[in-house]
Amino acid sequence: MENNNRKELVVSAIKSGTVIDHIPNDMVSTVIKILNLYEVTNEIVFGANLDSKKYGKKGLIKVKDKKFESSEINKISLVAPSATIIEIEDYRVARKFKVDVPKKISGIVKCFNPKCITNVENAKTKFDVLDGEDLKLLCHYCEKITKKGTVEFL
């Protein structure tokens, strides 16, 4: 006898591309924005408020025919430190890893201090990551701390 009581969300598999899983539910649109996914022509599937045994609710983004560069993965790690990257090749998982919040970042976040040399003379930004969970970045040049609420991605 067939069981028709089973209910689940079925999302089509991709032949190649990347899945960003375990995104905090409130960060899905932020990840889409910082990766400029509104600009790409690749097929993109995203979900929010998805049930997760580990996190309660989570978000997910699936991008066909796209592998993310390390600078893009660093951006993801700053807003979604719990995220998992799953690279798909020929419908199979080729590589799966949790993002790591780097100890230093460069060229991906703007210093919030308008008088910082990076904003005055267009120098490349450099930060020490003081707190990867609550996001606190120490500017290498002006030594001001950029916090989660003031982060602006380049």
- Going along the chain from its start, the domains and CATH numbers come out as 17-98 (3.30.70.140), 104-153 (2.30.30.20)
pTM (two decimals): 0.84
* 137 CB neighbour count, 10 Å cutoff: 26
pLDDT confidence tier of residue 4, bands split at 50, 70 and 90: low
Q: For residues 84 and 82, what is the distance between their CA atoms, to the nearest angstrom?
A: 7
pLDDT confidence tier of residue 1, bands split at 50, 70 and 90: very low
Instruction: Judge whether residue 25 has pLDDT over 80.
Output: yes
pLDDT confidence tier of residue 9, bands split at 50, 70 and 90: low
HSE of 142, CA atoms in CB hemisphere, 13 A? 19
